[in-house]
Structure 1
Amino acid sequence: MSLSAVPDRVRVRAPGKINLFLDVGSVQDDGYHDVASVYQAVSLYEDLVATPADDFTVSVRDETGAPIPGVPLDDRNLALRAARMVAREVGYLGGVHLDIRKAVPVAGGMGGGSADAAAALVACDALWGAGLTSPALQEMASRLGADVPFSLMGGSAVGTGRGDRLSPALGRARFDWVLVIADGGGLSTPEVYAELDRLRADRRPDIAPRPEPPEVDPVVLQALRSGSPDLLATALRNDLQEAACELRPDLRELLDRAGEFGALAGLVSGSGPTLAFLAADATAAQSIEHDLSAMGHRARHVSGPVTGAKVMTR
């Protein structure tokens, strides 16, 4: 690789995601589940700045610049692992410091850690002038975690297998959402899946896996193509929602009140506990955001789809 004319810092922005649809199959022998999901990248971003360093280090702060308790700063950090992966791939012998500003909630079901990893892949490739191809970055992303490839891709996409086999979903119409970032800490994805398995073992017919492999409801894709939030509202589904609500009963109470403040529908984002409420348009979303904030919730109006991890020029 050539290190000529490479920048001394690179800033990359990567979006969080919402699972508009998540069909979870039965647990497999290896403890994992096959899924069929529809992802949408939304305008809540992680910002990562990569600068040259002697070693591989990372700092993580929230939007105000305050440190975030509980986020690992060693090789358990997915972004740091991504940086080391790029260095091995291209034979880079130096290090890098990653400074991450997080807006996506930690352990919130929106893929914030995956967005950090995708941003690190893109940033290190640019910082070191590696010139890795998109397929090469996608392959590395798939080794880091199921949600990382989508964080690179962005937009709207169907994910199958473990969620990392992606195909773009047609349609670029804007959808407006209001996120409620739940207080009381995040939810562990493995714990939510384990709770789903426990509920299914109790023979809950409403959340039982179907006998055939997981698949996406065509109505979701039709809604994305047509740009109809009303149609999309009828098809939103998350098989992890009941498990998340069992672990956090406060989530169910707010979801049940979605219509009271004008949302077309609401669902748990991924493994939770972040909630996503679909609005008819931007004006309706602003009203919902205001009402939820007045109720004491941390609410945020976002829209999607947006692009995946990309280098920022400013």
Structure 2
Amino acid sequence: MISLGLGLIFLTSSGASPFKKDETPGERFRKAIEREAEYCVTHKIKPTNRRCDITKLQPADPLATEEGRFAHSIKIPSPVPEDSGYKLEMTPEQYFDHLCKTESGEFIYKTVENVEGLYMMRPRKEATDYELEHLYALEDPYGYTNHEAKRAEYGFVSPNRYIYFERAPQPPRFGQGTHQSDGSRTAAQRSAGYERFTGYDARHLESMKREPVESRESRYGFTWRGITRPHDRELGIAGGELIVLNLETNEVLGVRRGYIRSGMVRNNLTGIWWLTGQTCPAYGYRNGRNKDFDFSYWFIGKVLKPKNYEQSFKELTNGK
């Protein structure tokens, strides 16, 4: 087994904080939602005004779907410890630093060479702005990126990556190159068990081809799941695991476990904004961000290595 602990990227903001020093992100979040809910009751809100939607959001249910239940049933060789090491006097910064040092990282048990394609076992739902601003609405804020939720196929299919990418058929999105522009789906697409993406030249979105297929070709796939801990969300921290599997044997080939911290964002309702949270492991060395366009491929490509993996990794790091 190879365990790779990766460095942290810390985000700070200048100026005075609008939050009380001793409040936890959870306390700030609840107060903000209570104020907003009271406003929505005492003011006449037009039906077209969506500002009250955030008050109706519920915590994510990890077991609501078959894909979620399967992801949470997977036994991995290096499970999360039952005792997270949290201590009552810990600040959010201290607890996050502790989790990053003791639990986060890449755990690679076996690699596979010359992989042609892979199967996305649990597609991510595109999050709304209110869900990204909510402390509990997303199961796995760490692993979530808008790119993967909208156009995951473009992160995996290219001349230096995989030949094909497969997943269960997803609802079409307006304007997406591989989908019908009017939002419709053909009868074949509606009845297909899977959809397969091929042909992307890494330059033109329209070069990506999507076809409905009855059976998948992938021998390997990946899924994800959130980590639920008693104190994490209260301190503005969320964990998640990305799991790579042999689909024929259900053998776990690798796991990336990471954490994200938010709660001090100014100029929004709750102080939470998961897209720019502080993360570990952190990726995206090309532009200095915590999470970038290729967030999942950074890890999956190390486990399921395509034929041109070395070249694809040079592209990720600008040749460094």
* TM tier, smaller: under 0.3
Q: TM-score, length-normalised on structure 1? A: 0.22
Larger Rg: 2
Higher strand proportion, which one?
1
The normalised TM-score by structure 2 is: 0.22
